[in-house]
Amino acid sequence: MLTTTPNTARPNPGGLPGRPSPARLRPRDVIRVGGAGLRARPLRVFLSALGIAIGIAAMIGVVGISASSQEKLNRQLAALGTNLLTVSPGQTFFGEDSHLPAEAEGMIGQIAPVTSVTATGATGARVYRNDHIGEGQTGGISVLAARLDLPAEVGATVVSGTWLNGATQGLPAVVLGGKAADRLGVVAAGPDQRVWLGGQWFTVVGVLAPVPLAPELDASALVGWPVAEGRLDFDGYPTTVYTRAEEEHVVAVRDVLAATANPENPNEVEVSRPSDALAAKQATDATLNALLLGLGGVALIVGGVGVANTMVISVLERRAEIGLRRSLGATRGQIRSQFLVESLLLSLIGGVGGVLLGIGVTAAYATSQGWPSIVPVWAMAGGVVATLAIGGAAGFYPAVRAARMSPTEALAAP
Amino acid sequence: MSGSGTGTAGGPYIVELSGVDKIYAGGVAALSRAGMSIRYGELVGIIGPSGSGKSTMLNMIGTLDRPTDGTVRIAGHDIAELSDRELSALRAGVIGFVFQHFHLAAGVPSIDNVADGLLYSGVALGERRRRAAETLRRVGLGHRLDHRPHELSGGERQRVAIARAVVGDPLLLLADEPTGNLDSSSGAGVMELLLELHRGGTTVLIITHDRDIAAGLPRRVEMLDGRVVEDSRVGRVSAC
């Protein structure tokens, strides 16, 4: 059964032979040898990689959720426009409430880049669910006189009923903001839906959806300008002027608005850009994000320690294998790179798993919030690069120890 | 009983040890003034009780360790002049090892265990596998290519280990107690395989404490307390 191949003409090293030189391992073999140690212990690989994956997933999730929320805001701003400016009366030098001149709207409309102007005016009237409610229980709802073009200017839409029109603006008809409708117990607009407003019954003709650029409208009851002046003793002074300017001139318009609205007392005018307020609200989340990123970083470091621990144990357990490989002709460098590659692969598995997990978390959260899902490419690439750095750092010392091991001692290990 | 390569008077030596001392940390002298030489193609047994220095001798010849003093020449190279990298290359190209405990990778098929014998010679994977299959057939395990070590008997495992040692056609095959973990019939089969390889031209050095096995070898070198005390080729060696 035994067949032998006769060894023909062995090279006869009669003279001094050339110095032996080790062969280089092909990259494919380096990966194969490095991966062999992982294939032999799948459970340990899974658990070590899981530590890294959780850290990376936490960081990707934080970045992804914050990017998704930013993207949602950007889309919202793009839809609403960032060229809306509001003008409202501030206070006089003496601390008294000021009011805008009645001509403020007209004068603002004269500014060249201004494309449209509209306004609301506070009437001072109160609104109640019915005529039995006590005087003080206003629910914080203000009654405003509104121009007919208000919804178009601020991007408001009705969820029920209709907006005021030329006919209803002179009648006891009211459109409620979303919060105001809730507080007054109004579910939907209708001819039988009435509220007690300024000592008389007003019919609710419409209910607004929340208005992101003009959140003050949410807790308001809006009536027509003529009916406010006719029935509610409205003085006719606008309290908030909403104006849109050409996008590239918004800043310039903003600078002249105060002086235009109230030339006599420009210091008594407050000008703001609602889209800036929305963006600023977003920025306040940055601190929380930094905290969460820090936590993700800690998880990542703990994961790295787990990988280092796994590698140290792996080297100790595989002394016999190291000795065998040395006897088969592996150089110290080849042993070192075997364990370094093993550590890198282990971390890489964790890193890729973590990126996928982070994408999943982002997608799930963003979908639940109705946001678009965005995970920046730099975050994914950064996550993978970070795991490689961790794998290199964690595997370096064990790999050097494996390479320094004397072949005879390694072979003597059981 | 002598093989094809032995007995050529004046032929070059593949192993030359002279005045080799090995003193381990703590002052234990494992070898003291040990000397011997082996010609290309010889079949030699190193025998002696445990602690006699046999394994240290094997480590010296296998270039796994360096002597504290004295000269070791393997295939013409003075190993004192070679760097650790060059010694690795020498092991990869010239020397094959067979161990008492086989040292096969668990869960890895025979063919890949054997193919690893060529890994550090820079042979491509396909060619490694092809030659591994050929060598496994040569040692009578052509039907066990895809079996993992735990599916093989002890004798078969040692045959796989021998195949791994010889897949790169080494000039020198070192076997450290190759039958130490085997029952007598498996052990006899493994010995027969080693003799067969020797007949094919490979220089084979077997370390054993089993005198029955040693008795079947054409040349025996006996060791005691770190010295070569008798060499059947040169007669009794006087301690110097």
Q: What pLDDT was estimated at residue B237?
A: 66
pLDDT in tens, A147-197: 999 988 888 889 989 999 888 888 899 999 989 998 888 888 888 888 998
Single out the residue of B202, B210, B205 nearest to residue B181, CA to CA.
B210
Average pLDDT over all residues of chain A: 85
Average pLDDT over residues A363-384: 91
Domains of chain B: 13-236 (3.40.50.300)
**Contact call for residues A326 and A22 (beta carbons, < 8 A):** no
Residues of chain B found within 8 Å of residue A404, distances taken between Cβ atoms:
none
Share of chain B above pLDDT 70, in %: 93
What pairing do the DSSP bridges indicate for beta strands B219-224 and B43-47? parallel
Q: How far is A62 from chain B (nearest CA, A)?
A: 41
CB-CB under 8 Å, A331 with B116: no
Interface check B138 vs A, CB under 8 A: yes
Cα–Cα dist A305/A219, whole Å: 54
**Global confidence as pTM:** 0.75
Q: Tell me which of B171 and A99 has the higher pLDDT.
A: B171
- With a CB-CB cutoff of 8 Å, which residues 24-43 of chain A face chain B? 24-26, 28-29, 32-33, 36, 39-40
Q: What pLDDT was estimated at residue B163?
A: 95
The pair of structure tokens assigned to B238 is: 């006087």
pLDDT at A266 over 90: no
The pair of structure tokens assigned to A206 is: 């419409």
Q: What pLDDT was estimated at residue A246?
A: 86
Cα–Cα dist A203/A192, whole Å: 7
Q: Number of residue pairs across A and B with CB atoms under 8 Å?
A: 137
pLDDT band at residue A17, thresholds of 50, 70 and 90?
A: low
Cα–Cα dist A88/A272, whole Å: 9
Q: What pLDDT was estimated at residue B75?
A: 92
Average pLDDT over residues A340-351: 94
CB-CB under 8 Å, A19 with B86: yes
pLDDT band at residue A235, thresholds of 50, 70 and 90?
A: confident
The pair of structure tokens assigned to A316 is: 């100790």
Q: What pLDDT was estimated at residue B8?
A: 38
The pair of structure tokens assigned to A99 is: 């009011």
Residue in chain A lying closest to B199 (CA)? A6
pLDDT band at residue A6, thresholds of 50, 70 and 90?
A: very low
pLDDT band at residue A95, thresholds of 50, 70 and 90?
A: low
Q: Tell me which of B132 and A81 has the higher pLDDT.
A: B132
Average pLDDT over residues B40-51: 92
pLDDT at A1 over 60: no
The pair of structure tokens assigned to B140 is: 């009578």
Q: What pLDDT was estimated at residue B5?
A: 38
The pair of structure tokens assigned to A2 is: 């035994």
Length of chain B: 240
Average pLDDT over residues B201-215: 90
**Contact call for residues A357 and A58 (beta carbons, < 8 A):** no
Average pLDDT over all residues of chain B: 89
Q: Give the position of tokens 């006590």.
A: A134
Q: Tell me which of A414 and B56 has the higher pLDDT.
A: B56
Q: What pLDDT was estimated at residue B178?
A: 92
pLDDT at A360 over 70: yes
Residue in chain B lying closest to A25 (CA)? B122
Residue in chain A lying closest to B122 (CA)? A23
From edge to edge, which strands make up the β-sheet containing B77-78? B28-39, B13-24, B69-74, B77-78
Q: What pLDDT was estimated at residue A281?
A: 66
Residue in chain B lying closest to A39 (CA)? B107
Interface check A22 vs B, CB under 8 A: yes
Of the ranges A128-132, B89-93, B115-119, B232-236, which one carries the lowest mean pLDDT score? B232-236
Instruction: Choose the closest CB to B92 out of A23, A33, A406.
Output: A23
pLDDT in tens, A272-319: 887 777 777 666 667 777 888 888 888 888 888 888 998 999 899 899
Average pLDDT over residues A43-58: 90
**Contact call for residues A144 and A122 (beta carbons, < 8 A):** yes
pLDDT at A4 over 60: no
- For the ranges A64-73, B164-173, B227-236, the maximum mean pLDDT occurs at B164-173
- With a CB-CB cutoff of 8 Å, which residues 178-207 of chain B face chain A? 192-193, 196-197, 199-202
pLDDT at A411 over 70: yes
CB-CB under 8 Å, A25 with B40: no
pLDDT band at residue B223, thresholds of 50, 70 and 90?
A: very high
In this structure, the dihedral spanned by the alpha carbons of residues B211, B212, B218 and B224, taken in order and rounded to 10 degrees, is 0
The pair of structure tokens assigned to A286 is: 């940055």
pLDDT at A11 over 50: no
Average pLDDT over residues B111-133: 95
Q: Determine the 3-state secondary structure of A36 from DSSP.
A: helix
pLDDT band at residue A3, thresholds of 50, 70 and 90?
A: very low
Our CA angle for A375, A377, A378, nearest 5°, is 110
CB-CB under 8 Å, A327 with B65: no
User: DSSP string covering chain B, please?
Assistant: ---TTTT-TTPPEEEEEEEEEEEETTTEEEEEEEEEEEETT-EEEEE--TTSSHHHHHHHHTTSS--SEEEEEETTEEGGGS-HHHHHHHHHHHEEEE-TT--PPTTS-HHHHHHGGGGGGT--HHHHHHHHHHHHHHTT-GGGTT--GGGS-HHHHHHHHHHHHHTT--SEEEEESTTTTS-HHHHHHHHHHHHHHHHTT-EEEEEES-HHHHHTSSEEEEEETTEEEEETTTEEPPP-
Interface check B66 vs A, CB under 8 A: no
Which residue of B40, B58, B64, B88 is the best one to mutate when testing the A interface, meaning the one whose CB has the most A CBs within 10 A?
B88
pLDDT at B96 over 70: yes
Residues of chain B found within 8 Å of residue A22, distances taken between Cβ atoms:
85-86, 88-89, 92, 120
DSSP state of A125: -
Q: How far is A383 from chain B (nearest CA, A)?
A: 33
Cα–Cα dist A59/A40, whole Å: 30
The residues facing B97 across adjacent strands are B174
Judged by phi (left if over 0) then psi (alpha if -120 to 50, else beta), residue B140 lies in left
Interface check A326 vs B, CB under 8 A: yes
Q: What pLDDT was estimated at residue A256?
A: 86
Which residue of B114, B120, B171 is the best one to mutate when testing the A interface, meaning the one whose CB has the most A CBs within 10 A?
B120
Single out the residue of B93, B109, B116 nearest to residue B141, CA to CA.
B109
Which residue of A1, A3, A7, A44 is the best one to mutate when testing the B interface, meaning the one whose CB has the most B CBs within 10 A?
A7
Q: What pLDDT was estimated at residue A138?
A: 74
Instruction: Choose the closest CB to A20 out of B89, B125, B199.
Output: B89
Sign, CA dihedral A236-A239-A242-A248, equals positive
Residue in chain A lying closest to B117 (CA)? A328
Residue in chain A lying closest to B63 (CA)? A327
Task: Return the H-helix or E-strand segment holding A145.
Answer: strand A142-146
- With a CB-CB cutoff of 8 Å, which residues 394-413 of chain A face chain B? 406-408, 411
**Contact call for residues A399 and A340 (beta carbons, < 8 A):** yes
Residues of chain B found within 8 Å of residue A13, distances taken between Cβ atoms:
12, 75-76
Instruction: Choose the closest CB to B124 out of A24, A26, A333.
Output: A26
pLDDT at A239 over 70: yes
Instruction: Choose the closest CB to B120 out of A3, A17, A22.
Output: A22
The residues facing B98 across adjacent strands are B175
Share of chain A above pLDDT 70, in %: 93
